[in-house]
């Protein structure tokens, strides 16, 4: 059937989406839009700190909600449930591991980022090592990773859901979703994104919990999942192992030769990927940098870490239930059958979660779940869009336009979002055939090729003051070459279908991508340490407040020459702008006022501030001071949380 020719009304009717569901979806979109516009109105859109870091006055609950919703996007709903349907519980290791990495973010990494006074993580490398090649390389690499794993994967996952629910063409679905997110993301900056993330987290968690209850009720409880999952195979299944669930489906820790998640890769490889994602990736770190103070940083991480427990029960288990209830569709093996079911010859596990929604949710609640999936998609997309524009503006545009003013940076950041979206859409077709149709595996595999060198660099930069610029650069280059070679081989040879002979090189066929992640991380650490030891050490005065050991230092930091030059040029540009008469928006032509309103742009206003006031404001922004009472409170909460996490690992291990 050619679903692209259906009208929207027929499509909704075919999917069983009634008028009540449409009303729920419309109400959700209206509430989300109102929330975004309200936050936009409250945002200092005319300042760089206001637009990119929400003025650094966000509270812990908003930080925690934004951390969670930025992490759990539509790609996670589709990917976690799909991989759970295919291979069982082990994929939940990514979520349970993230619980500990969120604490590492707040207790180890963020204090250094804040004390160094940076907007982006590539900017931190400029302050820590000097020069520009590390900053520009990391900025470019981050944008590439966002396109290949975050933006395109989330848009593809959201389009899968819309295609299953309303039978739209996948690209039509993508365009609709992008139109929804564009209004407040471009105009309001990080504050608008965080406030709408808070709303979307409530909707997302509420919808997921409702579907979880209905799923468990439909299958007859968790005992029946353990009993029936092993026999959830399609009616056309033969006696071969193709399409048959693994015997270790209900274990997080599996044998060393397990094809999906061997235990060394699970324990160490996932730790590397999760630590990179939560602690040295701009999207997640930027939320913590917007916090009011360190107590709110830690409180936000604790809240997000508790929420990270939910996907095991709200997403992975329901994915397995979907396979039990609909084995002929979800567990299809024959490529022709799979293509007729979901349009993907590689497999249909990616539709496990949407299938549950369409089949189990009653009228009204189905609209809630559709709204939840839209919330998941919008929260993750808006977060990546905002972080991408921040990186491009601060780390790349300022590199080539060192005299750019704050006003120019705000315009460039908004325009870049639109460019990034177009590039991401072009990449979507690659996702449809990659990694056996399991979206989550695709995301983690690509990340495993690029993340280890990055994490090794930030860990050494924060913890080992002897790390210098040459060691950092060559450690990254060694990791890049090895990672790109592995990725090229992986995508070049592809993944053989079940029952097909594996003629791939040993480095692909015998070394799991998580084991490769561990190996690459160790190689990068060694390369960085060796080169640093054989080259000149950096002046300690240049790295004050840029390492864990100097984060509380009150000494005056000496800028690197290149850093000082860029700082001076930027100050000159802003001083020149300060001499220009303040723009009265009401006197501008109507077309220009309309353009400002649509783009969410406010001409920067001149503010008279003394040098002493400027220094005091900068000290406040870079303060990592903690009140003893609140410090003890968040530390005790972290201990309780870690104990709970260890219990879950022991119970499902």
Q: What is the pLDDT of residue 639?
A: 92
CA distance 320 to 87: 9
556 found inside a domain:
yes
Q: How confident is the model at residue 602 (pLDDT cuts 50, 70, 90)?
A: low
Q: Assess contact for 309 and 303: CB atoms under 8 A.
A: no
Does the pLDDT at position 440 exceed 80? Answer: no
Q: What is the pLDDT of residue 186?
A: 56
Mean pLDDT of 480-495: 81
213 found inside a domain:
no
The 3 state secondary structure assigned to 508-528 is: HHCCCHHHHHHHHHHHHHHHH
Mean pLDDT of 230-244: 71
| Residue range of the domain that includes 19 | 3-73+90-198+264-310+381-398+409-494+502-652
Task: Name the helix (H) or strand (E) containing 321.
Answer: helix 317-325
Q: Residue-wise over 152-188: b if at least 16 C-beta within 10 A, else e?
A: bbbbbbbbbbbbbbbbbbbebbbebbbebbbbbbbbb
The phi and psi torsions of 236 (rounded to 5 degrees) equal -85, 5
The phi and psi torsions of 551 (rounded to 5 degrees) equal -65, -25
Q: What is the pLDDT of residue 14?
A: 41
CA distance 170 to 354: 14
Does the pLDDT at position 526 exceed 90? Answer: yes
CA distances from residue 428 to 102, 321, 335, 439, 448 in whole angstroms, order as listed = 30, 28, 20, 11, 20
Q: Assess contact for 539 and 563: CB atoms under 8 A.
A: no
DSSP letter for each residue of 572-626: HHHHHHHTSPPP-GGGS-HHHHHHHHHHT--PPPP----HHHHHHHHHHHT----
441 found inside a domain:
yes
- Where do runs of H (alpha helix) occur along 72-221? 74-87, 93-104, 110-116, 121-129, 133-145, 152-166, 170-219
The phi and psi torsions of 149 (rounded to 5 degrees) equal -120, -40
Higher pLDDT, residue 197 or 576: 197
Q: What is the pLDDT of residue 584?
A: 60
Does the pLDDT at position 226 exceed 70? Answer: yes
Q: How confident is the model at residue 224 (pLDDT cuts 50, 70, 90)?
A: confident
Does the pLDDT at position 435 exceed 50? Answer: no
Query: Which pLDDT tens digit goes with each residue over 380-406?
Result: 677 777 778 788 888 888 777 777 766
Residues 6+ apart with CB under 8 A from 332: 234, 243, 338, 341, 347, 348
Mean pLDDT of 85-101: 86
Query: Which pLDDT tens digit goes with each residue over 242-254?
Result: 667 777 778 888 7
Mean pLDDT of the chain: 76
602 found inside a domain:
yes
- Top mean-pLDDT range of 74-83, 322-331, 358-367, 540-549: 540-549
Does the pLDDT at position 72 exceed 80? Answer: no
Q: What is the signed CA dihedral for 567, 571, 573, 574, rounded to 10 degrees?
A: 140
Task: Give the closest residue to 206 by CA, choosing from 28, 81, 471, 49.
Answer: 28
Q: Assess contact for 381 and 177: CB atoms under 8 A.
A: yes
191 CB neighbour count, 10 Å cutoff: 27
Query: How many helices (H) and strands (E) are present in the chain, helices listed first?
Result: 32, 0
594 found inside a domain:
yes
Least confident range from 72-76, 92-96, 410-414, 454-458: namely 72-76
Task: Give the closest residue to 573 by CA, choosing from 414, 406, 399, 397.
Answer: 406
Higher pLDDT, residue 360 or 19: 360
CA distances from residue 53 to 193, 419, 565, 569, 590 in whole angstroms, order as listed = 11, 22, 24, 22, 30
DSSP 262: B
CA distance 125 to 133: 9
Q: Assess contact for 203 and 28: CB atoms under 8 A.
A: yes
618 CB neighbour count, 10 Å cutoff: 11
Higher pLDDT, residue 455 or 346: 455
How many CA atoms within 13 Å lie on the side-chain side of 530?
Answer: 10
203 found inside a domain:
no
Q: Assess contact for 604 and 46: CB atoms under 8 A.
A: yes
Query: Which pLDDT tens digit goes with each residue over 264-278?
Result: 878 888 899 889 988
Least confident range from 284-293, 327-336, 429-438: namely 429-438
Q: Terminus-to-terminus CA distance in the chain, angstroms?
A: 44
Q: What is the pLDDT of residue 474?
A: 95
Q: Assess contact for 425 and 155: CB atoms under 8 A.
A: yes
The 3 state secondary structure assigned to 390-428 is: HHHHHHHHHHHCCCCCHHHHHHHHHHHHHHHHHHHHHHH
CA distances from residue 520 to 435, 472, 489, 533 in whole angstroms, order as listed = 21, 15, 16, 20
Least confident range from 13-22, 390-399, 501-510, 639-648: namely 13-22
Q: What is the pLDDT of residue 559?
A: 86
Does the pLDDT at position 527 exceed 90? Answer: yes
Higher pLDDT, residue 270 or 44: 270
208 found inside a domain:
no
The total domain count for the chain is 1
Higher pLDDT, residue 345 or 116: 116
Q: What is the pLDDT of residue 449?
A: 82
Residues 6+ apart with CB under 8 A from 563: 126, 127, 130
Q: What is the pLDDT of residue 419?
A: 77
Q: What is the pLDDT of residue 130?
A: 85
Query: Which pLDDT tens digit goes with each residue over 494-506?
Result: 666 656 666 777 7
Mean pLDDT of 92-103: 88
Does the pLDDT at position 488 exceed 90? Answer: no
Does the pLDDT at position 476 exceed 50? Answer: yes
Q: Which residues pair with residue 254 across a beta bridge?
A: 262
Q: How confident is the model at residue 257 (pLDDT cuts 50, 70, 90)?
A: confident
Q: What is the pLDDT of residue 618?
A: 62
Q: Assess contact for 365 and 175: CB atoms under 8 A.
A: no
Q: What is the pLDDT of residue 478?
A: 95
- Where do runs of H (alpha helix) occur along 220-280? 222-228, 263-264, 270-279
Higher pLDDT, residue 276 or 87: 276
Q: What is the pLDDT of residue 337?
A: 78
Higher pLDDT, residue 384 or 81: 81
DSSP 291: B
Mean pLDDT of 544-573: 81
Q: What is the pLDDT of residue 54?
A: 46
251 found inside a domain:
no
Q: What percent of the chain has pLDDT over 70?
A: 69
The phi and psi torsions of 414 (rounded to 5 degrees) equal -70, -45
Q: What is the pLDDT of residue 11?
A: 33
Q: What is the pLDDT of residue 30?
A: 74
Q: Is pTM, for the whole model, over 0.85?
A: no
Looking up residue 638, the CATH number of its domain turns out to be: 1.20.1730
Least confident range from 159-168, 302-311, 352-361, 378-387: namely 159-168
Does the pLDDT at position 578 exceed 90? Answer: no
Does the pLDDT at position 456 exceed 90? Answer: yes
Mean pLDDT of 427-439: 53
Does the pLDDT at position 648 exceed 70? Answer: yes
Higher pLDDT, residue 6 or 466: 466
């Amino acid at each position: 059937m050619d679903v692209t020719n259906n009208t929207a009304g027929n499509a909704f009717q075919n999917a069983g989406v009634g008028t009540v569901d449409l009303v729920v979806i419309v109400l959700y979109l209206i509430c989300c839009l109102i929330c975004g516009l309200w936050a936009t109105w409250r945002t200092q859109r005319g300042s760089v700190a206001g637009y990119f870091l929400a003025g650094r006055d966000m509270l812990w609950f908003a930080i925690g909600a934004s951390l969670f919703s930025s992490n759990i996007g539509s790609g996670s709903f589709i990917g976690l449930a799909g991989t759970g349907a295919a291979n069982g519980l082990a994929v939940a290791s990514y979520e349970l591991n993230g619980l500990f990495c969120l604490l590492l973010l707040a207790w180890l990494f963020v204090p250094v980022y804040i004390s160094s006074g940076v907007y982006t993580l590539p900017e931190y490398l400029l302050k820590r090592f000097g020069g520009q090649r590390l900053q520009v390389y990391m900025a470019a690499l981050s944008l590439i990773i966002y396109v290949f794993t975050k933006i395109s994967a989330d848009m593809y996952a959201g389009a899968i859901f819309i295609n299953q629910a309303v039978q739209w063409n996948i690209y039509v679905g993508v365009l609709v979703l992008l139109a929804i997110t564009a209004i407040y993301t471009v105009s309001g900056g990080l504050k608008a994104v965080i406030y709408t993330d808070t709303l979307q987290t409530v909707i997302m968690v509420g919808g997921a919990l409702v579907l979880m209850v209905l799923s468990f009720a439909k299958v007859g409880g968790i005992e029946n999942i353990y009993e029936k999952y092993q026999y959830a195979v399609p009616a056309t299944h033969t006696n071969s192992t193709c399409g048959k669930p693994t015997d270790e489906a209900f274990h997080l820790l599996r044998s060393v030769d397990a094809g999906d998640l061997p235990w060394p890769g699970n324990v160490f490889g996932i730790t590397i990927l999760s630590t990179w994602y939560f602690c040295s990736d701009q999207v997640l770190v930027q939320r913590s940098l917007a916090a009011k103070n360190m107590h709110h940083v830690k409180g936000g991480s604790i809240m997000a870490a508790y929420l990270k427990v939910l996907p095991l029960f709200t997403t992975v288990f329901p994915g397995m239930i979907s396979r039990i209830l609909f084995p002929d569709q979800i567990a299809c093996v024959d490529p022709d059958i799979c293509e007729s079911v979901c349009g993907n010859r590689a497999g249909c596990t990616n539709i496990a979660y949407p299938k549950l929604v369409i089949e189990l949710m009653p009228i009204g609640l189905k609209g809630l779940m559709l709204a939840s999936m839209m919330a998941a998609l919008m929260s993750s997309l808006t977060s990546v869009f905002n972080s991408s524009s921040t990186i491009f503006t601060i780390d790349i545009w300022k590199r080539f336009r060192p005299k750019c003013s704050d006003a120019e940076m705000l315009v460039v950041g908004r325009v870049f979002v639109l460019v990034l979206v177009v590039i991401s859409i072009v990449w979507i077709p690659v996702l449809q055939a990659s990694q056996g149709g399991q979206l989550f595996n695709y995301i983690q595999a690509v990340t495993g090729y690029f993340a280890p060198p990055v994490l090794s660099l930030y860990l050494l930069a924060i913890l080992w003051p002897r790390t210098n610029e040459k060691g950092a650069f060559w450690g990254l280059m060694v990791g890049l070459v090895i990672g790109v070679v592995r990725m090229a081989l992986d995508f070049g040879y592809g993944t053989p279908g079940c029952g097909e002979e594996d003629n791939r090189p040993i480095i692909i066929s015998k070394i799991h991508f998580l084991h490769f992640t561990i190996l690459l991380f160790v190689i990068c650490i060694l390369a960085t340490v060796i080169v640093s030891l054989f080259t000149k050490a950096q002046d300690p005065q240049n790295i004050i407040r840029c390492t864990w050991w100097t984060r509380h230092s009150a000494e005056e930091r000496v800028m690197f020459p290149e850093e000082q030059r860029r700082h001076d040029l930027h100050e000159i540009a802003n001083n020149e702008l300060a001499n220009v008469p303040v723009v009265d928006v009401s006197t501008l032509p109507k077309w220009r006022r309309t353009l400002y309103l649509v783009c969410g742009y406010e001409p920067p206003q001149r503010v008279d501030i003394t040098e002493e006031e400027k220094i005091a404001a900068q000290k406040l922004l870079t303060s990592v001071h903690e009140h003893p009472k609140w410090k003890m409170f968040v530390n005790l909460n972290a201990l309780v949380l870690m104990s709970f996490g260890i219990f879950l690992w022991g119970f499902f291990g």
